[in-house]
Chains A and B, each alone.
Chain A
Amino acid sequence: MFGYYFNLALRSLKRNRTLTLLMVLAIAVGIGACMTTLTVVHLLSGDPLPGKSSVLFFPQVDPENPVVGGATEPRPAMDYRSAMDLWSAHRADRQAIITSSPVKVRLPDSSQPPLMPSMLSTSADFFPMFDVPFQYGSGWSADDDAHHARVAVISADLNQKLFGGANSVGRILRVRDADMRIVGVLKPWRPSPLFYDPWSQNFSKSEDVFAPFTSSMEINKGNFQAYTCWHVPPSMGDLQNADCVWVWLWVELDSPAKVRDYARFVDDYANTQKSLGRFAVGSEHARLRDLMAWLTYRGQVPGDVRLQAWLASAFLAICLFNAVGLLLAKFLRRSGEIGVRRALGASRGAIFAQCLVEAGLIGLLGGFFGWLLTLVGLWLVRHQPVDYAHLAHLDAAMFTVTFVLAVGTSLLAGLIPALRASRVVPAWQLKAL
């Protein structure tokens, strides 16, 4: 029976090519617009560390004193002392203290002009905690952190620029005025979004130089940048004793019990600092979000992208109503034909099924062209000057969604017209003949 209906549908579609083309086109454009934007939203809200994100947490306290403008959430970073206190307590399975700053980098005895990449100052746990992939060598040890060791890890990109991609482990890098020994070279690594940095552009590149937090405080003294300050620091860039937030922490907690303990630890810390008079607010502004909760809170999908998705959905809705109207016209135009079929013994269900097959076929065609338009749309996104452009590719899941959405949309659109068509009264139509 399905084959027969399919055949009928094809004939019917061929009979009025313009109308068919218009319907297919409307669905295709709607699907194309909707899927392009949904794909971008889907990719941007992805998990940067699948399998690991649930054990990574971002502790926050609010050192701002007094709190400006009735804020109800802490800033995305802490002052040096709070971050240092929480980090050096070593209460988590792993913990990394982090900040970033621009730094001058060059090779000693080289005529190459110096570069100004950004340096991530962190601690040994950073690399195993975030599964950072190494091309050569490895990260540094907790011992290196303690001894302010002059060691560094560089990105694949910087290794390419300075050493032509060769194994540079053991070579010396002049970071500002200090000589640092390269202990590791990363594989190309670009977590999207750049989840560990709370105030970077969400989809920007990761840093080029990674150095122990302790030693980089000495090396790049005076060049650190504050997220915000509540008292103007005595000298810009020297933030260790300033009332500024610029350092943050990530911790790994492997079991729910540890998460509870750590949350209590952060709360207690905030309350203690409040009672000491250093903080204006205590545990009310202490947070311990896991990675995905943090990304959601931070709003990793850019506003423009969400707006585009809204717009595209509204557009698809308009296309849907349009398709309903046109299908209704198309089916009812054949009332005479349907009347004859009914008189010859076809049941209502049969008419209904036949109409739905036709609607589904239009949806399939629309889905196919919509898929092509989605590919064009994503190609356009890739050529936009936005920092997430490199992400815009259609994955298998979204490919399936395209067709499900297209066929679903047109079946939905076909539902009411098909119901109407199946309710055609045969006697009236036969009389009209």
Chain B
Amino acid sequence: MQIKPILAALRRHRLATLLIAVEIALACAVLCNACFLVARRWTMIQINSGVDESSLAVLTVNGFDPKLSADVNARMLTGLRAIPGVQSATLISEVPFGPQTGAAGVTHEPGDFKNLIGVVDFVLAGPGTFKALGLKLVEGRLPQPDDYRPATSFLPDYAQVLVTRQWAEHAWPGENPLGKSFWCDKMHFRVMGVVDHYARAQPGQYDLGQGEWTVFTPVVPGGSLSGTYLLRARPQDVQRVLQAARAAVQKIAPDVVLDQDNSKTLNDLRANYFKSDRIMIGLLLGVVVLMLGVTALGIVGLTSFWVAQRRKQIGIRRAIGATRGDILRYFQTENFLIVTFGIALGMLLAFGLNAVLMRFYELPHLPLPYLPVGALALWGLGQLAVLGPALRAAAVPPVVATRSV
């Protein structure tokens, strides 16, 4: 295949060539960035919460006097455990994808928050909660009965805690986290164990690598640890058990208010939490598909025009010996050249668009692998779009050369 005559022909149609190339460049830039955004959101909604979501539900009540919290807890736990199908009912302060209650900055030294290691979620949990959640311990030990300490204000003054691997690797990179200390103001925490995965309440509000900065804190029920109950049941029973529990609140404790919005199964909480991300993914993919469709239409339209315009020349080429394959390949090569030019332009644009997005959103640089993938997609699209008109061109009979019009 000779490229020179194709280039010569394209030079005669500089404007049209440029238009298609710019269109492809724009498509390439949007495609790479949209796919990048989709991939990030997809990673976010796939976050491993570390807990047995399908077996768990959470029930929240409020509106009681803090002085009566021990009494409310006792009544609620007894009442909830009596519901048929409940495997366990325990106290917890927050669950993944529920409202956040215990975010705080922590430091390596006691005192003020000047040199933050980061902001973690402190999950206060009563006896039995670790087992109910189904967290996987990878190092260290489980909380023993005397590890549960009273929380006088928001956290206990001192506690042995379990942290996630993600947090341990951030706070003590390359070191054994067991026995390490960290502080929140004047409150002291020591790591007794590491869990594999455990998502914080609102992982979407933090960077991708901070969704599991969770500190599991064993606390004696009462005080700040009251009103939110973790229910565990067999997956097929969870929904029914939760309904029964919601209905039972009125009878168990008539003086409290059931928090309707935050008493749900963990599956529902998760689905709800990522709803807008899923919509956004759908929207981004929809726009990408539409955009590629419009680009393909543009290629079809312009190539069809060229084929019609060059009918006579095609006839002449056929008459002097070009095969159908030659004509077909001519248009395919022409398209390949235009698309390549467009892609080259598109790569620059993609980085430009990425720079704009980075200014407005907390996004990292566009990873390089997106570019060749985007290029391949557009080459494929171009070849697919050009096939129809090119076949029509190949079908032009040599006899056309002898006709005057």
Q: Is B155 an interface residue (CB 8 A)?
A: yes
Nearest CB of chain B from residue A389's CB, rounded to whole Å: 11
A328 contacts partner chain B, Cβ-Cβ < 8 Å? yes
**Closest residue to A225 on the B side, CB-wise?**
B101
Pair B15/A328 contact, Cβ less than 8 Å: yes
Which residues of B sit under 8 angstroms from A314, Cβ to Cβ?
A: 26, 29-30, 291, 353
Q: Are A113 and B257 in contact (CB under 8 A)?
A: yes
Shortest Cβ distance from A317 into B: residue = B26
Q: How far is the CA of A104 from the CA of B279 in the complex (A)?
A: 35
Instruction: Report B275-291 CB contacts with A as 1/0, cut-off 8 Å.
Output: 11001100110010011
Contact A322 B295 (CB under 8 A): yes
Given known contacts A116-B62, A222-B66, A236-B154, A315 and B30 CB-to-CB distance under 8 angstroms: yes
User: Do A315 and B287 form a contact, CB below 8 Å, given A22-B297, A304-B276?
Assistant: yes
Q: Judging by beta carbons under 8 Å apart, are A326 and B26 in contact?
A: no
Q: How far is it, in angstroms, between the C-alpha of A322 and the C-alpha of B309 when the chains are bound?
A: 19
Residue of A nearest to B258 (CB): A113
Contact with B along A7-21 (1 / 0, CB 8 A): 000000000000100
Does chain B have a CB within 8 A of A396?
Answer: no
A307 located at the interface, meaning its Cβ lies under 8 Å from any Cβ of chain B in the complex: yes
Binds A, one of B16-24, B173-181, B190-198, B395-403: B16-24
Cross-interface CB contact of B257 among A114, A303, A310, cutoff 8 Å: A114
Known: A307-B37, A326-B302. A318 touches B62 (CB 8 A): no
CA distance A331 to B387 in the complex (A): 24
Q: Please, how many angstroms separate the alpha-carbon atoms of A325 and B308 in the complex?
A: 15
Determine whether the beta carbon of A236 is less than 8 Å from that of B153: yes
Interface presence of A142 (CB below 8 A) = no
Given known contacts A113-B257, A116-B257, A102 and B153 CB-to-CB distance under 8 angstroms? no
Report how far A235 CA is from B294 CA in the complex, Å: 61
Q: How large is the interface on A (under 10, 10 to 19, 20 to 34, 35 or more residues)?
A: 35 or more
Nearest Cβ in chain A — how far from B64, in angstroms? 8
**Chain A min CB distance to B121 (Å):** 15
Taking a contact as CB atoms under 8 Å apart, the answer to whether A308 and B294 are in contact is: no
Residues of B within 8 A of A236 (CB): 153-154, 224
| Minimum CB distance partner of B103 in chain A | A228
Q: Are A29 and B294 in touch, CB under 8 angstroms?
A: yes
Which residues from chain B contact A330 at a C-beta distance below 8 Å?
A: 305
Distance (whole angstroms) from the CB of A40 to the closest CB of chain B: 12
- Complex: A357 Cα to B162 Cα, angstroms: 73
**B19 and A328 contact, CB distance less than 8 A:** yes
The reply to whether the CB of A89 lies closer than 8 angstroms to some CB of chain B is no
Q: Does B182 contact A (CB under 8 A)?
A: no
Query: Provided the pairs A116-B63, A116-B257 are in contact, do residues A321 and B22 lie with their beta carbons within 8 angstroms?
Result: yes
Expressed in whole angstroms, the minimum distance between the Cβ of B72 and any Cβ of chain A is 13
Decide: A104 near B63, CB < 8 A? Known: A307-B37, A325-B298: yes
Which of B187, B254, B275, B308 is close to A385, meaning CB atoms less than 8 Å apart? B275
A333 with B185, Cβ < 8 A, contacts A321-B298, A322-B298, A328-B16 known: no
Does B82 belong to the interface (CB within 8 Å)?
Answer: no
**Which residue of A has the minimal Cβ distance to B154?**
A236
- Interface stretch of the complex, out of B112-120, B135-143, B164-172, B210-218: B112-120
User: Residue-by-residue, is A402-433 near B (CB-CB < 8 Å gives 1, otherwise 0)?
Assistant: 00000000000000100010000000000001
B95 at the interface (CB under 8 A from A): no
Q: Which of B81-112 contact A (CB under 8 A)?
A: 104-105, 112
Please, how many angstroms separate the alpha-carbon atoms of A115 and B259 in the complex? 9
Nearest opposing residue in chain B for A321, CB measure: B23
Contact mask B345-356 → A, CB, 8 Å, 1/0? 000000001001
Most buried by A among B63, B116, B360: B63
Contacts of A324 in B (CB 8 A): 19
Q: Given known contacts A68-B114, A314-B29, A385-B276, is B153 in contact with A235 (CB within 8 Å)?
A: yes
Known A321-B19, A325-B301, A326-B298: A307·B112 in contact at CB below 8 Å: no
A41 CB–B CB distance under 8 Å = no
CA distance in complex: A66, B259 (Å): 37
Give the CA-CA distance A304 to B18 in the complex, in Å.
33
Are A420 and B275 interface neighbours, CB within 8 A?
no
Given A321-B298, A333-B309: A315 in contact with B290 (beta carbons within 8 A): yes
A420 touches B15 (CB 8 A): yes
A260 at interface by CB-CB < 8 Å: no
Within 8 A of B (CB), among A4-44: 19, 22, 26, 29-30, 33
By beta carbon, the residue of chain B nearest A30 is B294
In the complex the two chains form, is B66's CB within 8 Å of A19's CB? no
Does A217 sit within 8 A of B, measured CB to CB?
Answer: no
B108 CB to closest chain A CB, in angstroms?
Answer: 15
Give the residues in chain B near A26, CB-CB below 8 Å: 294, 297
Give the Cβ gap from A363 to chain B, nearest Cβ, in Å: 16
**Would you call A232 and B301 a contact (CB within 8 A)?**
no
In the docked arrangement, what's the CA distance between A324 and B185, Å? 64
Q: Determine which of B62, B272, B291, B360 lies in contact with A315 in the assembled complex, contact meaning CB atoms within 8 Å.
A: B291
A329–B15 CB distance below 8 A: no
Let me know if A247 is at the binding interface, CB within 8 A: no
- Chain A residues with CB under 8 Å of B291's CB are 314-315, 318
**The one of A33, A69, A232 that contacts B185, using a Cβ cutoff of 8 Å:** A232
Within 8 A of B (CB), among A272-327: 303-304, 306-308, 310-312, 314-315, 317-319, 321-322, 324-326
Residue B34, interface by CB 8 Å: yes
B365 lies within 8 A of chain A by Cβ: no
Contact B154 A69 (CB under 8 A): no
Answer whether residue A391 sits at the interface, using C-beta atoms and an 8 A cutoff: no
A173 nearest CB across to chain B (Å): 14
| CB of B165 to closest CB in A, whole Å | 25
Segment 199-239 of A: residues with Cβ below 8 Å from B: 222, 230-237
B23 CB contacts on chain A under 8 angstroms: 318, 321-322, 325
- List chain B residues, Cβ under 8 A from A384: 276, 279
A356-389: CB near B (< 8 Å → 1, else 0) gives 0000000000000000000000000000111000
Q: Is the CB of B298 within 8 A of A332?
A: no
Interface residues of A in 89-123 (CB under 8 A from B): 102, 104, 113-116
Contact residues in A for B259 (Cβ distance below 8 Å)? 116
A310 to B224, CA, bound (A): 44
Which residues of B, 5-49, contact A by the 8 Å Cβ criterion? 15-16, 19-20, 22-23, 26-27, 29-30, 34, 37
Is residue B323 within 8 Å, beta carbon to beta carbon, of the partner chain? no
Enumerate chain B residues within 8 angstroms of A102, measured Cβ to Cβ. Answer: 62
Known: A236-B224, A315-B30, A318-B295. A416 touches B15 (CB 8 A): yes
B186: chain A residues at CB < 8 Å are 232
Residues of A within 8 A of B (CB): 19, 22, 26, 29-30, 33, 66, 68-69, 102, 104, 113-116, 222, 230-237, 303-304, 306-308, 310-312, 314-315, 317-319, 321-322, 324-326, 328-330, 332-333, 384-386, 416, 420, 433
Question: Would you list 23 pairs from A and B whose C-beta atoms are within 8 A, ordered by A residue?
Answer: A22-B301, A29-B290, A30-B294, A66-B112, A69-B116, A114-B63, A114-B255, A116-B257, A230-B113, A231-B185, A233-B154, A236-B224, A311-B34, A315-B30, A318-B23, A318-B27, A322-B301, A325-B301, A326-B298, A326-B301, A384-B276, A385-B279, A416-B15
Residues of B within 8 A of A (CB): 15-16, 19-20, 22-23, 26-27, 29-30, 34, 37, 62-63, 66, 104-105, 112-114, 116, 153-155, 184-187, 224, 250, 254-255, 257-259, 272, 275-276, 279-280, 283-284, 287, 290-291, 294-295, 297-298, 301-302, 304-305, 308-309, 353, 356-357, 360-361, 405
Known: A68-B116, A318-B30. 6 other contacts (CB 8 A): A114-B63, A325-B19, A325-B20, A326-B302, A328-B19, A384-B279
